[in-house]
Every structure is written in C-alpha cells, then in structure tokens.
Structure 1
Amino acid sequence: MAFNHTEAGLVARVSQLSKSYGSGSSTVRALDDVSVGIRESEFTAVMGPSGSGKSTLMHIMAGLDAPTTGSVWLGDTEISALNDRELTTLRRRRVGFVFQSFNLVPTLTVGGNVHLPFELDGRNPSGSEREWVDELIASLGLADRLTHRPHELSGGQQQRVAIARALATRPDVVFADEPTGNLDTRTGREVLELLAAAARDHQQSIVMVTHDPIAASHADRILFVADGRIIDDIEAASADEISRKMLTMERAA
C-alpha cells in the first residue's frame, strides 16, 4: 500500500521504500518496498531481530539516512527530496532523538543539554517554550540537577535529560533507538513510562526501535519487521504476546 502525501493523521510516512547497501553480488537489501505511516500522538514500537531492517527504517524516517528508492515524508514535507543543509535544519527543528548511549554533551550542564536544540538553531526559546521546558524539567525530576554535568548523573538521570532535550522544541516526532538498552530493569521501566506519558499526556508522536518485548509492551502500536519488510502491525499487546509473535517470526526465518 502506498500512502498519498496528504494522508490525514500521519506525522511521518514512507512509500515504496527500499534501501540497499553495496553493489553487485555483495548487495545487501536492508529494506524491501516498505510503505507505512506513523500516526500522530501515538507511541509506536518497531520490533524485529538483529539485521531485520528496523534501525535502517528509523534512520531513514528521521532523515539520518537516504533511501535507495521510494519517498519519505515528515508531515507535508518530502524529506527524501531535501539536500543536506535542508535536512540538517529539518532534523534540528522538527525531529527529536533519544539514543541508547544518551549522547549528552559532557561539557554542558543538564540545563545546557536540555536547551541545546535552541542553541543549535541560533535562537532563544520563546516565553511559551521556556514554560514548556520548565514543565519538562520538573516532571522529569531534574529541577535539582540543572547545574550537574552528565558524569555526575546516574544512567537513568542521563536518559531523562536526553528525553527532556528531545521534547524541548515540541518536535513533530521523537525517534528513540533502544532507549533502555543501557539501563537496569527498574530504571528502564521508568523511562518507558515517561515516553508513554509524553504520547498520552502531551500528544507527542514517538517511534521506538527495540528488540525487547517488555519495552514494546508500553507502546500503543507495534510494527514487526523481518527481512526488510513489515510483516505485522498490531495494537498494544502484552510482553508475553509480543514474545510469542517474535518467536513465531524467528522460527519462520
């Protein structure tokens, strides 16, 4: 199914997307004719075994990689048609990122890291944006950590800073790449609950790549990827249901 670029209610989408690496006999097809849309104000998990293409799909939707064929849209902007400078501006203003390794700037304080998207855009936050950032900092329990640097924080606190930074500019969509991969179980669950709350309470669209059924069980929707294709698309499910689905996928591989 190919999506019209005016498809309502979709914050991001790809149409007939393929991605290949290498050439000739060594060509690897990471994505194979994928068409899918990400709905607004929803927490979507993208699941699949290693090498399934799930991270490639996220990177292309986020404008971090280019498709071999097909089109990529963020809202009404076809990002697959933008040049590098335009892509950089779009990512800075309209996309948020949360990484497994946190990716905080070690020389900046918590406050400096959270405000970094505005600095990179060469502007100060507006009054309403300052109020929003203050609300984020308070809700994430970071108000007493603003002058600390990343090395003075626990892993969970660092990921909270990364989430605040990703949400600071109210981006169209936040992409989270294995956001609990470096966290213990309890802290990871707290981070997942924060992401789910961002979608539920603040209408933030979130796409999370994960291989963890427990992480995926916090999402509103789960896309299953195998061999470069989306093979299933389901609503919220329990960790046990997701595990059974993954086991069936692996047996069929």
Structure 2
Amino acid sequence: MASKLSNGGDLPGYALEMDGVTKIYPGPAGVTRALDGITLGLARSTFSALLGPRGAGKSSLLRCASGMDQPTLGSVWRPAGSSCSVTTALPGALPDTAFTLSAGDGASGVRASCSRRDAGLEIVLPPARRGFGDSSTNGMRFEAVPDLVLADEPNSWMPESDVPRLLTGLRRLADLHGRTVLVATSRPAVAARADLAFMLSRGCLVDAMFAPTPEALERWVSHA
C-alpha cells in the first residue's frame, strides 16, 4: 500500500509521529534498506537527538520526517499547518526547504553563508561583543523559525570551539521558543545535550535514552 506524509490531523502534544517507516532505495547492485520499521514520536517543544554511525540511516530518517522523501512503507504525521525545515552540513547541498546556517569568524564577524537565505531561519554565530545577536539564544538570530527543526550533523562544518554555542542555541529553540528540534549526529557529546536520544543502527531504532549522558552514550557506541 502506498504511504504518504500525513499532515492533516491533530495529535495533541506531538510535533512528529513516524509509524513503521521503511525506506528502500533501488540501485545497480540491488536494493538498500535505509530504514526498517521506524516508529517514534517527538513531543512538542523538546530537543531530541538521533545517534548513530555513518550509514545508519540518519539522513534518510530526517528526509522522510520532513516530507522530502516518501517512505516505502509506513506513515509520517505532523500537525496540520505546521512548518518543518531540514539542514545539512554540506554547503550548497541544501534543499529549498532548508534554513540558513552562517558563522562569524570570531574576529571580524564576517558571515560565511552555508546555505540559502530564502527559507526563514538564520543561525548566526557572531563575535562575542555587546549589541550583536540575541542574549536569549546565545548569539543566535531568528527570523521565521519553523515549528520542527531537523538538523543533520549541523556541527561538522564549523570549528570545534563554536560547537557549544550552536548546541546551546538549538537547545534554546526548544526551551525558550517552543520549537521541536531533532539533531542527527554520530557524536555522543552532541547527543548528550538532548532530552531524549534515539539510537539508530543499520536502519533500525535499537534503543532510546532519556536525559542521556556522554558516558552512557559512549558505552552504547562502543558496543554498537
């Protein structure tokens, strides 16, 4: 039976529901099962992480969650009228629905734009100086922030010293601005900033952890 994104209902308290989502990609050497029966829900105004190694299916899950890709089987649901954006770490590779990621260079504040500017959200890491940015979001600036923010390895393109500020800004999107954030990452330290971490391996959700710690996630990664 064909599956499609469902965005016409209203499930109180949730920003995203995925039910039995399987994604299969055809290829010259046969099919690749990128996702296998994914079922999860994201409560509104929460910060969640999707932790897994490269090739685990993180990007495929985000693409299906956003509606950029249709699942082969299963269903994806978001509240009626909600907005959703996806970002990736690769400059120039973002779809029209992506939001802008820009970084100040830490000295002059010159912004290096890494995506399109026409989708309504801009994240800026400015120099630490008075009057630049927004203190409530740790220097991050927002225009029309989407209801559901899906971030695919958002820290991999920036200097390590800027990563804590980016994560704090994403954290505050949920805590102060009521947005729902899902960050896909291969790094336990990044996933540990979330309220809830989902563990993904070979296209399957294999575990989940509330209030995750770097140490507990490191142990899971070492045994995955």
- Report the counterpart of residue 177 of structure 1 in structure 2: 152
- Report the counterpart of residue 118 of structure 2 in structure 1: 116
After superposition, what is the alpha-carbon deviation per residue over 1:64-91, rounded to whole angstroms, capped at 9, x for unaligned? 21111111112147xxxxxxxxxxxxxx
State how many pairs are aligned.
195
Q: 1:205 Cα deviation (Å)?
A: 0.6
Give the alignment of 1:10-25 within 5 angstroms. Answer: 10-22=14-26
Structure with more of its chain in strand, by fraction: 2
Give the alignment of 1:68-87 within 5 angstroms. Answer: 68-76=72-80
- Report the counterpart of residue 46 of structure 1 in structure 2: 50
Does the CA-based 8 Å contact 1:31-1:53 persist in structure 2? yes
CA 140–222 in structure 1, closer or farther in 2 if over 3 Å, else same: farther
- Please, what TM-score do these two structures have when normalized by structure 2? 0.73
Moved more, 14-23 or 216-225: 14-23
Q: Which runs of 5+ in 1 are unaligned?
A: 78-92, 119-132, 146-159
Whether 2:213 is the aligned partner of 1:234: answer no
Q: Which runs of 4+ in 1 moved over 4 A?
A: 102-106, 112-115, 136-145
Identify the match of residue 64 of structure 1 among 59, 62, 68. Answer: 68
- Report the counterpart of residue 248 of structure 1 in structure 2: 223
After superposition, what is the alpha-carbon deviation per residue over 1:87-140, rounded to whole angstroms, capped at 9, x for unaligned? xxxxxx71133331355599xx97x9896336xxxxxxxxxxxxxx9xx87999
Q: Report sequence identity in percent.
A: 24
How far apart in 2 are the matches of 1:177 and 1:217?
16
Whether 2:98 is the aligned partner of 1:94: answer no
How far apart in 1 are the matches of 2:176 and 2:101?
28
Q: 1:14 Cα deviation (Å)?
A: 1.1
After superposition, what is the alpha-carbon deviation per residue over 1:162-186, rounded to whole angstroms, capped at 9, x for unaligned? x74xx52231201111011022222
- Report the counterpart of residue 4 of structure 2 in structure 1: none
How far apart in 1 are the matches of 2:17 and 2:182?
12
CA 7–238 in structure 1, closer or farther in 2 if over 3 Å, else same: same
- Please, what TM-score do these two structures have when normalized by structure 1? 0.66
Q: Tell me which structure has the larger Cα radius of gyration.
A: 1
